[in-house]
Amino acid sequence: MKTYDLSELAVRNLRESLLRNSLTTVGISVGVASLVAMLSLGIGLQQLVTRRLVSSGLFDTVIVTSRRDIRDFSREEEKSGPSAAESRILDETVRQQIEQLPNVMEAYPDIRFITEVRYADKPHLTMVAGLPVSARFNDAFEGMRGSFFSSETAPEVILQKSFAAKLGGKTLKPGAEEVSVAELAKPLLGKELVMRYAERVAAPAQTDASAKGNGQPAGADESLERAAYSVVSREQKLTIVGVSDLDPDSMRGAAEARVFLPLKLAESLHVVQPSDLRDNVRAFGNQRSYSTISVRVKNPKQVQSVEDAIKKMGFNTFSILDATRSLRRFFAVLDLFLGIFGSLALAVASIGIVNTLVMAILERRREIGIMKAIGASDGDVKKLFFAEAGAMGVLGGMVGVALGWAIGQVINLGTNVYLKRQALPPEHFWSVPWWLVAGAIAFAFVVSLVSGFYPAARAARLDPVQALRYE
């Protein structure tokens, strides 16, 4: 029998017992809908997490540290590489070298220091860090109130929410109701605060002061003398321009900063870094060294190659890429489980198909007998039942995908209403990619064909003599 005739007969047969076949198709739709809903939730969550992580700047960032430093993320490298004391220093030359590497967007030194910030004549001790202008697109500033730094050197400051709360005299207790950023920002924006810091002033070489101060005899090792510097207490007035909701510095863990300056400004202040003293003892010369350099890679996919290149230069690197591997595995397992649960409904629906078609055989016993008597082969009868099952599958699949999509939209909408009530930004955690649409319909089709296997075989085996005798 030709495909056209087959489908025509199948459709007319389906129409013949419209209610029953519709109900069966609805069953498939519900099954497919639950599958689509489950999987699109899984995919959507994965995309949300990935999107969040990528925009958080964690995925495209490589942190570079010198092997001389005690702080080390990878113990193995320490063993395999050159000994700590012989490794290269992380300085401006290295920074520029790294910036020249392929796929590197920027490399900036990490400047952070603990200091005192005065606001309304009250001193607050906190960690201050420099922030590159590129961080403006960082996800952490999504919920920020106010504006980003007006220039790279502007005497401006962005506060982290918890610090803003502290300045405002409010305390953020864990578990307590969250105070909105807007509320915190309102009294602070545009206000001035004073940062006290210790400036490292390079001492004029071979001066009396330095010689006296160090208690060194004149004419000592030149490098030692060049390493000499004074520490001068200074004050800098800063305007509060923004209060950020999230933490733009979350990768630093314990060294988390809560006050942010434009990076160029922070550099120009020559604040004494914790590593300065050590460097001084080690006598690196007067060249300033950085404790860490953050490297931004153009694409998260290139993190590995950039990391390898920097390692070859003789530095320690760290990226969160390794963490994402297990994340991906987690989502694969999650999708699998969601898929299995979603498929359960489809499995039930497939039993519905079997039931419907077996009923159809009983009902159409005579018709099958007639068709065989006038020349239908076993194959024709089998194909006809397969076509009916397949048509229900495809139709159910299409309706199911639409239904699943609609369910997703409703849940997404409901969740966003909830998020809005909780003063959280809306999220799009629902995703129905085209391959899921095609896959779900194809899956419904295949499941229907499998379900149709037994009824089709049974109908094909039907003895026409018996069938025609049956009244």
Q: What is the number of other CB atoms lying within 10 angstroms of the CB of residue 268? A: 13
CA distances from 205 to 268, 279, 283, 367 (A): 21, 18, 15, 109
Which listed range, 11-19, 133-141, 257-265, 354-362, lies at the site for another protein (CB under 8 A)? 11-19
**Least gap, CB of 445 to another protein (angstroms):** 23
Give the residue with the Cβ less far from another protein, 143 or 464. Answer: 464
Q: Does 12 bind another protein (CB under 8 A)?
A: yes
**Least gap, CB of 462 to another protein (angstroms):** 12
**Least gap, CB of 410 to another protein (angstroms):** 40
Considering only CA atoms, which of 72, 24, 95 is closest in space to residue 296? 95
**Ranges within 222-261 binding another protein (CB under 8 A):** none
Q: Does 464 bind another protein (CB under 8 A)?
A: yes
Q: Does 471 bind another protein (CB under 8 A)?
A: yes
**Least gap, CB of 28 to another protein (angstroms):** 23
Q: Does 293 bind another protein (CB under 8 A)?
A: no
Angle, helices 378-421/18-55, rounded to nearest 10 degrees: 50
Q: Mask: binding to another protein, 348-387, rule CB under 8 A, as x and -?
A: ------------------xx-xxxxxxxxxxxx-------
Q: What are phi and psi of 424, to 5 degrees?
A: -110, 150
Which residues lie closer than 8 Å to 258 by C-beta, 6 or more apart?
Answer: 126, 127, 159, 160, 162, 163
User: What span, in angstroms and rounded, lies between the C-alpha atoms of 150 and 156?
Assistant: 8
> CB-hemisphere CA count at 13 Å for 121?
0
Which listed range, 5-13, 52-60, 231-239, 331-339, lies at the site for another protein (CB under 8 A)? 5-13
Considering only CA atoms, which of 267, 444, 460, 313 is closest in space to residue 376? 460
**Least gap, CB of 373 to another protein (angstroms):** 6
Give the residue with the Cβ less far from another protein, 368 or 392. Answer: 368
Give the residue with the Cβ less far from another protein, 175 or 375. Answer: 375
Give the residue with the Cβ less far from another protein, 410 or 465. Answer: 465
Give the residue with the Cβ less far from another protein, 17 or 416. Answer: 17
HEC letters along 291-339: CEEEEEECCHHHHHHHHHHHHHCCEEEECCHHHHHHHHHHHHHHHHHHH
Give the residue with the Cβ less far from another protein, 370 or 442. Answer: 370
Determine the size of the site formed for another protein (CB under 8 A). 27
Give the residue with the Cβ less far from another protein, 346 or 462. Answer: 462
Q: Does 1 bind another protein (CB under 8 A)?
A: yes
User: What span, in angstroms and rounded, lies between the C-alpha atoms of 96 and 381?
Assistant: 76
Burial class (CB in 10 A: 0-12, 13-18, 19+), 6: middle
Residue with tokens 């459709």: 11
Question: Which residues would be at the binding site for another protein (CB under 8 A)?
Answer: 1-2, 4-5, 9, 12-13, 16, 366-367, 369-380, 463-465, 468, 471
